[in-house]
Structure 1
Amino acid sequence: MPMLDIQDLTVSYGPLEAVRNISFSVEAGSIAALIGSNGAGKSTTLKSIIGLVPAARGRILLDDQDITRQGSATRVHAGIALSPEGRRLFGRMSVQENLMVGAHGVKSSQVIGRTLDEIYSLFPRVKERRRQLAGSLSGGEQQMVAIGRALMANPRLLMLDEPSLGIAPKIVAEIAGAIERINQDKQITIILVEQNARLALRLSNQAYALEHGEIIRSGKGAELLADPVIQKAYLGV
């Protein structure tokens, strides 16, 4: 039984179907990648999973429990966290204050303290800048804080929306390494949405390519890396 099972999901913005009858599953402990061009439906899929936009049709199952009509807060308490596209930090709050926003639903101060230490170990430069205003950080540093804020919710399923967007290659490599450690060391299941298809497919166990709100290819990350259609469309081969 997969941790997450998406069944015939359709999400609409008014008359526009941004996601159309997609089905996919995510195994516990895996990294699943959603790749595709702008407007393919990747971010909408994540927002629907966490409850920010409603499903028009279909079902979302977490550990075989139907969460399709549950609110976002209930889904967060069930163990889902999202690091959104564009980072969305509070620029006039300190780095540590931004991180603590992610822990608002965690009752144990011990768990909060331990998670904070883990984030500072994962991202040493976040620890160095913990008292700085988040708005004063570089884009890459802000992305690290955004991922850390999502981790503060102590999730079982972490969704990362475009973590490499607009970030210097050296920092992208750091973040990619952190994603692997989060998955392997903390045993957190990850859904990775990326326009950087090569990076996403290299990191992922499972991968799904979306176009115009529909899944056009699926398989292991390595399989899609070798797929001529994917190579031509997304990898510049």
Structure 2
Amino acid sequence: MRTLEVNDIVVHYGLVEALHGVSFKVDAGRIVALIGSNGAGKSTTLKALMGLKKLTSGSLVLDGERMDTSNAAQRVSMGIALSPEGRRLFPRMSVWENLMVGAHTVRSSEQKKKSLERVYELFPRVQERRQQMAGSLSGGEQQMVAIGRAMMSSPQILMLDEPSLGIAPKIVSEIAQAIQRLNRETGTSVILVEQNARLALKMSDHAYVFEQGLVIRSGSGQELLNDSFVQKAFLGI
């Protein structure tokens, strides 16, 4: 498994600086949560890690090697995958076809088979609906497919952007349990961006609080659950 270090990264959208020097670390085999209000820079951070947003400055180090000069496709080959906010499935393609899109960098048929079996094991509904058009699924089922698609490249670091957004609580619980099981059984590291701060902190080994493009607090999930600032700002306590 791989360790990722994010060192003082700055990212711009045109003239607007969205990240002002963000630093954090994802230790191998851990679940790390990024929490904060809308517009705090969490999704931008994931895009930067995936190679979808260019760094203005700073560095990304994977197992001691700089990776910030690589593109998104190369980062998939390095073992990084992103399940984006809003799912972004191909609605007129079948569930199986959407999953196979996530395996486009995998040359081994045996590896594709193993990855598909893992997706079906974690998300039985996805297997049941594998021949359906993705656009015909419920929001929760689509989210399962989106996560499964990201899993198809057998990532060592899986990034999830708002996996609970707009989904019924029962399905959110199923997805959370599947993510934790994947982490526990395979050692896959998870970076979780999640508006449901309570859920994210309960799931995570370590967490970082974002505000206006900066990391303003960090600690274990339990420590931040007990932090008075976090309780007032994000937990309604």
TM class by shorter-chain length? over 0.9
- Structure 1: how far apart are the matches of 2:90 and 2:193? 23
Residue aligned with 2:142, SS: helix
Count of residues in Structure 1 that have an aligned counterpart in Structure 2: 237
Report the residue type matching 1:212 in the other structure. Answer: Q
Q: 1:154 maps to what in 2?
A: 154
- Structure 1: how far apart are the matches of 2:215 and 2:22? 6
Q: TM-score, normalised by structure 2?
A: 0.99
Q: 1:91 maps to what in 2?
A: 91
Q: 1:52 maps to what in 2?
A: 52
Between the two proteins, what is the percent identity of the paired residues?
Answer: 61
Residue aligned with 1:218, SS: strand
- Structure 1: how far apart are the matches of 2:64 and 2:55? 17
Regions of 4+ moved over 3 Å:
none
Question: What are the residue-to-residue correspondences of 1:111-190 with 2, within 5 Å?
Answer: 111-190=111-190
Q: 1:22 maps to what in 2?
A: 22
Segments of structure 1 that go 5 or more residues without pairing to the other structure are none
Residue aligned with 2:164, SS: coil
- Structure 1: how far apart are the matches of 2:69 and 2:234? 34
- Structure 2: how far apart are the matches of 1:117 and 1:58? 38
Q: Deviations over 1:38-63 (max 9, x none)?
A: 00000000000010000001000111
Per the TM alignment, residue 64 of structure 1 is displaced from its structure 2 partner at its CA by 1.0
Residue aligned with 2:222, SS: helix
Q: Deviations over 1:124-158 (max 9, x none)?
A: 11111000000000000000000000000110000
- Structure 1: how far apart are the matches of 2:117 and 2:62? 28
Report the residue type matching 2:196 in the other structure. Answer: N
Q: 1:106 maps to what in 2?
A: 106
- Structure 2: how far apart are the matches of 1:184 and 1:161? 20
Residue aligned with 1:201, SS: helix
CA RMSD of aligned residues (A): 1.0
Segments of structure 2 that go 5 or more residues without pairing to the other structure are none
Q: TM-score, normalised by structure 1?
A: 0.99
Report the residue type matching 2:158 in the other structure. Answer: L
- Structure 2: how far apart are the matches of 1:64 and 1:165? 34
Residue aligned with 1:111, SS: helix
